[in-house]
A and B are shown apart, each in its own frame.
Chain A
């Protein structure tokens, strides 16, 4: 992750020194350009891109009136449920497996080749077989989320555990600690930032895969809402769905980042942003 201001001192440029102000300004410019292109000048026709005002109106309608079976909240809730189940299972299985793989080299040697092949099958490629096995159910969707989220949980946990300095284990041993205490009090805390980064990426990977899967299978969810918008020639519906997807995803990420800072107070500040790999 890049850090703006590393090479350039933003404060030297203008009065707005807060990142929030810059973000708000950019959003304002985007909205202004959008208004200008649609409502004000009418250069872009309505059926291509509705104006922000129309979008808000469509949003309000979708919140109260069911569209393709559910309100916007209903669709969002369906997606969230599958998301949480899938990512939860990925964390619950992936983190322990990652620990075992890092801790026991023979297991790692045995498991890695299979894992590497499975990892390169895109989550969507599992959709047909998942439908045949499980039908067009919540379980199918959750399975796709799981497949998208699981590898990063395993890999980041494994990296985190492998990252633990051996000398810490020596120190614990020389104070009489057994392996279980070492795992709980030394290895896991030191690996935690990596694991946490893995969890954040798992949430984001799972979300992407879920929306994709909902486009092709199912009768509910934000992806389904978008595909129904297409079927009904409603660009506004599609855009409302897309923005909702983006906002929910980023809110969850912010919440997870806050949690990380709260749960791991012992880390130097710089370690919070970019540990692990994507």
Chain B
């Protein structure tokens, strides 16, 4: 698939080989992926297929063995708020309150106090965290912690938001609520997102495009565009699951993933 001309981020020929004591292990084999501005791309694949490795490389937190990450056509360079990350395990700073966690990137950027306060307030409002602003992470539920992590990643106004199985550690009910929340946010704010998941339903529900990866070493197997104006967009997951096209996407993508599970 040719890169769209308005690509915000390009994953270009990226591969990754880990050196271990028992020899080299290929985690990723030549991945090419273009994410357009304002596009929500979900990446789905069997566990261990290297999709988290792909995310770490995209974030600049791990060097690729070959290939490049480009943002606006230029090498992305070291990690930074231009590509902020939401991790599966929340990764909140335990010694800082909700407000301080969200403020972290703004302090790094050297914004003045008034600007920081207004941006943090905006996020607290947006993510429904106002009443928890002075709480410490250990006092919050997993769902609330992940809201804080999302707010912390969004408040720096990243060019692209990278999410690594952000709801994987949450219980089913909380996960559903947050999926719907992210879907709502994205419709309002139009972020550019790369979202890693192992849930096919989540990938279809949130994505403008679903990227299916092969089993290890991970390659991009297929990309499926999901229309932005599908009738079920904006509905809750339970309702969306009644639509024939939603069901068909889920089934087709699930079949692609299952073929990889069998192969692995």
Contact = CB atoms under 8 A, between A and B. Distances in A.
Interface of A: 165, 167-168, 170-177, 181, 185-186, 189-190, 192, 264-268
Given A171-B85, A173-B79, A185 B104 contact: yes
Contacts of B80: 174-176
Interface residues of B, number: 31
B156 interface: yes
Given A185-B104, A266-B136, A174 B83 contact: yes
B104 A267 contact: no
Nearest to B101: A171
A174 B81 contact: yes
B104 A175 contact: yes
A181 B109 CA distance: 12
Contacts of A170: 56, 59, 61, 79, 85, 87, 91
Contact of B84 (A174, A181, A186, A265): A174
Given A171-B87, A177-B104, A189-B95, 10 more contacts: A165-B89, A167-B89, A170-B87, A171-B93, A174-B61, A174-B83, A175-B81, A175-B156, A190-B93, A190-B94
Interface in B54-87: 56, 59-61, 78-81, 83-85, 87
Contacts of B84: 174-175
A189 B137 CA distance: 14
The A interface is mostly helix, strand or loop, or mixed, namely helix
In the complex, the 6 A-B pairs of residues with the closest C-beta atoms, listed nearest first = A189-B95, A175-B105, A171-B91, A266-B136, A174-B85, A176-B108
Given A175-B156, A176-B80, A168 B61 contact: no
B150 to A, nearest CB: 12
A163 B138 CA distance: 17
A168 B79 contact: no
Contact of A189 (B81, B93, B108, B152): B93
A165 B88 CA distance: 13
B95 A176 contact: no
A17 B91 CA distance: 40
Contact of B93 (A176, A185, A264): A185
A217 to B, nearest CB: 43
A160 B91 CA distance: 17
A168 to B, nearest CB: 6
A268 B95 contact: no
The residue in A168, A176, A177, A192 that gathers the most chain B C-beta atoms within 10 A of its C-beta is: A176
Contacts of A268: 138
A48 B94 CA distance: 56
Contact of A167 (B87, B104, B108): B87
Nearest to A170: B61
B135 to A, nearest CB: 10
A186 B109 CA distance: 17
Contacts of A173: 61, 78-79
